[in-house]
Amino acid sequence: MTAKPSVLITGASTGIGAAYAERFARRGHDLVLVARNTGRMEALADRLRQETGVSVDIIKADLTQPADLAAVETRLRDDARIGILINNAGTAIGGSFIEQSTDTVAQLLALNTTAVLRLASAITPRLAKAGEGAIVNIGSVVGLAPEFGMSVYGATKAFVLFLSQGLSLELGPKGVYVQAVLPATTRTEIWDHVGADLSTFSGVMEIGDLVDAALVGFDRREPVTIPPLPDAGQWDALQAARQAMLPNYRNALPAERYRAGV
């Protein structure tokens, strides 16, 4: 890609997605915005065109709907100008696991996992062939912390993290950068979906601060960026402990502590 690549951003009508759109537009990248709310996207696109001069396309899509998702996949496969995918669209649901309906959980999984996977799958072959490009997947620290009590949401974000790490190992040698961004509590509309009052929370990060920090990690080519984490050594220690266990998984017999009579 000789020119700056275009950036396709899902969930781009508001919040984190809109902030990414603004930041990349100011870096001189053309944009493809994907979301359900056309009015918001058009207002954002008009402003960014006027302020930055970049080209902005809009795709109205509900990524839980197969036909809409397929249309975005087709754009990612066919538009060689798109070199960066920001997989930002996601949602959360309130209540405990027992209280959540199966249909609501299925919708959550469709947006938070299936759409992320399918869009990454659509663009990856083209980026790998070109030997350049990037995929940014927006996860959450909840995916590392079942103690936070958001079992299904956290499971979807654990999926996003694992997928990102696996793709990073696979695609990095082919020139494709994959970043997982793990926000904590951020001032977005997602809290309205779970019926939470943000005024009762402490340590709430502003959207602009989150995206600016995530872009520092992007520019540094970090595989995992956790904007609220003060001590990067804690993440490094977790990774080192996990990797230290890997050789111990290759045993033909159960560990001695699981053998009868021991």
Rg (CA), the chain: 19
Residue 142 has pLDDT above 80, yes or no: yes
Q: Right CATH number for 6-258 from 3.30.930.10, 3.40.50.720, 1.10.20.140, 4.10.640.10?
A: 3.40.50.720
pLDDT bracket for residue 1 (50, 70, 90): very low
38-74: pLDDT as tens digits: 999 999 999 999 999 999 999 999 999 999 999 999 9
205-250: pLDDT as tens digits: 999 999 999 999 999 999 999 999 999 999 999 999 999 999 999 9
Report CA 261 to chain centroid distance, whole Å.
47
146-164: pLDDT as tens digits: 998 889 999 999 999 999 9
pLDDT-above-70 percentage for the chain: 94
- Is 222:236 a contact under the CB 8 Å cutoff? no
**153 is an active site residue:** yes
pLDDT for the residue numbered 124: 98
pLDDT for the residue numbered 92: 87
Residue 193 has pLDDT above 70, yes or no: no
Residue 131 has pLDDT above 70, yes or no: yes
H or E element: which one contains 155?
Answer: helix 151-171
Residue 2 has pLDDT above 80, yes or no: no
Indicate which residue of 153, 177, 249, 258 is catalytic.
153
pLDDT for the residue numbered 260: 82
- Is 71:60 a contact under the CB 8 Å cutoff? no
HSE-up (13 A, CA, CB side) for residue 192: 4
Query: What is the spatial distance between Cα 76 and Cα 168, in angstroms, rounded to a whole number?
Result: 19
Scan for tokens 């060689």, then name that residue. Answer: 80
Query: What is the spatial distance between Cα 189 and Cα 91, in angstroms, rounded to a whole number?
Result: 9
The b-or-e profile of 15-40 (16+ CB within 10 A means b, else e) is bbbbbbbbbbbeeebbbbbbbbeeee
Q: Which two tokens stand for residue 23?
A: 């930041």
Scan for tokens 């056309």, then name that residue. Answer: 38
